[in-house]
Every structure is written in structure tokens, then in C-alpha cells.
């Protein structure tokens, strides 16, 4: 049993990790989250009454707060996921990304190092600081090749540059101060409880509302998709068995173009939630959920469609849009024995079904926080 601080634990990946830790281990977990726009305690409803779960609303840039929480909880490990993480938002407002991802990580490293130095013997030897990062720090690939742990950094957006800076800080604390750190760089995650500004949940919810499904450029940008539960398992494995000072790439080996992803979601929805048939059922039941109502855009009636693919709309590309990401996870597989349990086909079907079944989670977000508007236009 360990006592683990999870920063950003009310976010998408963080909450998946926390739910796994409480469900599948005997660990005690303290979630630290500032609850900015994407932080959502509803994502932790499954565990919020559990005796091994605690929550503190706190900003990782607030050093006194971090010191108090470290002193009171006495962690054996820190799993650091707190970050601003949406590329489009980093284009609109890069300062928030620098503050959280760079300054916040530096603050957390300083607090963790002081705490670690105060530990005795076995507790000091066993302590770990795990930093969770992204494959976007590596830049953009051509039509072939994979990112490895030795790929030089070449970040192209304010978001990826801020994450690259945080990665470098974590390595510097290891080499300069001896802090036992672990770094993971993951490919694009998807799954339940994903804030709906990201591609997959945005497409699902726009489709249910019969709104346009925006595809940047020609839709030929490639991403390597990783189911979030598989990622959480990888993070736990790295924490338990990873070698301090090492980096581990985590990828699903599921390369798809953005257009392929959108078309796959449409195909699944056409089977699980046929447009005309489901709308008629909703009207008969007088169901008021948004996906049961004819949506409007700029006060115009939603278009009649036979397939959700009819909603696909090509829009201007994101500025500086990286062409292709793909992860080589051979080190993680070979050294630690990790393998993903979900293919893209099984994971995306589970994801679409989850959004169909859980309007209680996403409807308040669509109503109050983010309604699907375009971000990152410059």
C-alpha cells in the first residue's frame, strides 16, 4: 500500500487513474486539482465516498499550499498530471500554459525535493516523482517512423513547448538534486469523461445535436490513439517498476487520420443511435435531453440527415498543425511487460456508448462551460 498524490486528478486522464487506483489497489490517494474549466469532480463520483480517497482544491503554483498538503498527507509518491493541455486553447492564451505547466511544475519539484530530503532511509529510497507528459514534445513525424525515448525534442505549439519545458525541469531535478523521477510521454488519449473540446467527444456530442462535425484541413493529420484506461494501467506499472531517471513512451499503436476517426464515430452512431429512428423515439417519450431534440445553429433548424457522415464539415486548419504522431512503446512493453487491452475498434465503441449512456456528466458541461465553439483561430 502506498500513499499517492495525484495532481490534476479531476481531469480526464487523472480521474481515470484515480478510479483505477481506488478500484484495483489498496493505495491511499490525495487528489490535488485547481478545478479550472476542465477539472470536474463529477468524474470522481465513483470514488468520492471511499475512505482511501481524499480531495484538496489547490493550485500547484501555490507553494505554501503544496507544502502544507505534503506535510499532512506524507506521500510515498507523486503522480503529476496537472496541466493545461489543449493545443487550440494554448494558441488563444499561451500564458496560462506557461504558468501551470512550467511554473507549476517547478514549484511542485521544489516542494517534492524538500519533502524527499526530509525522509528517512527506506522511505527516501522508495519515494518517486512521476511526471506525465505528451508525445507532442517530439514535434511532427513524416509519413514513416515512430517517436522513441531518444527522439530529439521539437515542440511546435505553445502547449507542447510548455510541456517540453516541464519535462526538461523534471530531468534537471533528477540530475542536479538526485530526485528519483520517472517520465512518461503518451500518445492521444480517448475514452469516458473526456472534456468535450477534444476531437472525439466533440464529434460524438455534435453528432447527437446534429451540429456540424468539424474536420481541420483535409482531415489527413495522423494521431496514435490510446484508450485512457490502458494509459492509466501503464502509469501504475511505471510507478511500481520503472527505473528512476528513465523515460517511457506510452502509445496504443492505433494510427488513424482525423477523418478516419470522425467517420468511424459516425458509423458507430449510425448503428447505435440511428438519426431518424432515435429522434422519433425521443419525441414519443417527450425526452428533453439535448441529443433527443432537433438542435439549432444560429437559430436555424438542424439539417435532416440519413447518416451522421452528412454532418462532416471541413474547416480551416489549425495554425501550425503537426502532421503525424506515432509512438514506439517497445521499451515499456519489453522492460515492464505492458500491453494495451483495447484496440481502437473496441475502445472507440465503448467510448461512444458511454457518451450515449451518460448525459448526466456531459450535458452540464455543454450547457455551462463549453458548447462546441471553435478555438485556436489566432
Selecting among 88, 135, 149, 197, the annotated active-site residue is 135
Phi/psi of residue 181, nearest 5 degrees: -110, 160
- 325 catalytic? Reply is no
Query: What is the C-alpha separation between 38 and 115, in angstroms, rounded?
Result: 29
Residue 131: name the closest of 109, 156, 103 by CA: 109
Q: Please confirm, yes or no, whether 135 is among the known catalytic residues.
A: yes
For residue 227, what is its C-alpha cell? 484508450
Whether the Cβ atoms of residue 42 and residue 363 lie closer than 8 Å to each other? no
The beta strands (E) that lie in 26-105 are given as: 28-33, 53-57, 77-80
Reference 367, options 284, 308, 268, 290; nearest CA is 290
Closest by Cα among 8, 85, 15 to 231: 15
> What's the grid cell of residue 341?
487491452
The catalytically annotated residue of 159, 216, 248, 325 is 159
Please name the residue ranges forming H helices in 139-227: 158-177, 199-208
Q: Which of 136, 167, 322, 328 is catalytic?
A: 136
Catalytic residues: 135-136, 159
Amino acid at each position: 500500500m502506498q500513499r499517492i498524490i495525484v495532481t490534476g486528478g479531476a481531469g480526464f486522464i487523472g480521474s481515470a487513474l484515480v478510479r483505477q487506483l481506488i478500484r484495483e489497489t489498496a493505495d491511499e490517494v490525495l487528489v490535488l486539482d485547481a478545478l479550472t474549466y476542465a477539472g470536474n469532480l463529477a468524474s470522481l463520483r465513483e470514488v468520492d465516498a471511499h475512505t482511501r480517497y481524499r480531495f484538496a482544491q489547490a493550485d500547484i503554483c501555490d507553494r505554501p499550499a503544496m507544502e502544507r498538503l505534503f506535510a499532512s498527507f506524507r506521500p510515498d509518491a507523486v503522480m503529476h498530471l496537472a496541466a493545461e493541455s489543449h493545443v487550440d486553447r494554448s494558441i488563444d492564451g499561451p500564458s496560462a500554459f506557461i504558468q501551470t505547466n512550467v511554473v507549476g511544475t517547478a514549484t511542485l519539484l521544489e516542494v517534492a525535493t524538500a519533502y524527499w530530503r526530509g525522509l528517512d532511509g527506506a522511505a527516501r529510497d522508495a519515494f518517486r516523482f512521476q511526471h506525465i507528459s505528451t508525445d507532442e514534445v517530439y514535434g511532427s513525424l513524416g509519413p514513416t517512423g515512430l517517436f522513441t525515448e531518444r527522439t530529439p525534442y521539437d515542440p511546435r505549439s505553445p502547449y507542447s513547448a510548455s510541456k517540453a519545458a516541464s519535462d526538461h525541469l523534471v530531468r534537471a531535478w533528477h540530475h542536479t538534486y538526485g530526485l528519483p523521477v520517472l517520465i512518461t510521454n503518451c500518445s492521444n488519449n480517448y475514452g469516458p469523461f473526456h472534456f468535450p473540446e477534444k476531437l472525439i467527444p466533440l464529434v460524438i456530442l455534435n453528432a447527437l445535436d446534429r451540429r456540424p462535425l468539424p474536420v481541420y484541413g483535409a482531415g489527413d493529420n495522423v494521431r496514435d490513439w490510446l484508450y485512457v484506461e490502458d494509459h492509466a494501467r501503464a502509469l501504475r506499472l511505471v510507478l511500481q517498476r520503472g527505473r528512476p531517471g528513465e523515460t517511457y513512451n506510452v502509445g496504443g499503436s492505433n494510427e488513424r487520420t482525423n477523418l478516419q476517426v470522425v467517420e468511424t464515430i459516425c458509423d458507430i452512431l449510425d448503428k447505435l443511435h440511428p438519426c431518424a429512428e432515435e429522434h422519433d423515439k425521443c419525441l414519443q417519450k417527450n425526452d428533453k435531453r439535448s441529443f433527443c431534440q432537433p438542435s439549432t445553429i444560429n437559430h436555424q433548424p438542424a439539417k435532416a440527415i440519413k447518416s451522421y457522415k452528412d454532418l462532416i464539415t471541413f474547416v480551416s486548419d489549425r495554425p501550425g498543425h503537426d502532421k503525424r504522431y506515432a509512438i514506439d512503446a517497445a521499451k515499456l512493453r519489453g522492460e515492464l511487460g505492458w500491453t494495451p487491452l483495447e484496440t481502437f475498434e473496441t475502445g472507440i465503441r465503448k467510448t461512444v456508448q458511454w457518451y450515449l449512456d451518460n448525459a448526466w456528466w456531459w450535458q452540464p458541461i455543454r450547457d455551462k462551460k463549453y458548447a462546441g465553439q471553435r478555438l485556436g483561430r489566432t
